[in-house]
């Protein structure tokens, strides 16, 4: 599902950003979008958060069985 891939991509971006903050003290999103309090940064942070919330559903979703084509 395309929404799963978008959410996973956003969660990865968030994880990499937090890793960068933890290891280097450098906020990549804030750097790219004009500071942590800029409107664009807040939009990115919000999208990352929504993507992470969507990814929670992946933990509880049953995988679709492969269709038998015989």
- pLDDT tens, residue by residue, 24-58: 999 999 999 999 999 999 999 999 999 999 999 99
What is the per-residue pLDDT for 65? Answer: 58
What is the per-residue pLDDT for 66? Answer: 58
What lies within 8 Å, CB to CB, of 7 at 6+ separation is: 50, 51, 52, 54, 55, 58
Provide the H-helix boundaries in 25-64: 28-33, 39-60
Q: Is position 38 within any domain?
A: yes
What lies within 8 Å, CB to CB, of 5 at 6+ separation is: none
Q: Is position 43 within any domain?
A: yes
Q: Is position 65 within any domain?
A: no
* Range(s) of the domain holding residue 19: 2-60
Other Cβ atoms within 10 Å of 59 Cβ, number: 6
pTM for this model (two decimals):
0.81
């Amino acid at each position: 599902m395309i929404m799963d891939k978008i959410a996973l991509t956003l969660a990865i971006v968030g994880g990499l950003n937090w890793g960068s903050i933890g290891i280097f003290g450098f906020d990549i999103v804030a750097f790219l979008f004009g500071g942590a309090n800029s409107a664009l940064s807040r939009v990115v942070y919000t999208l990352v958060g929504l993507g992470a919330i969507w990814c929670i559903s992946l933990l509880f979703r049953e995988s679709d069985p492969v269709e038998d084509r015989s």
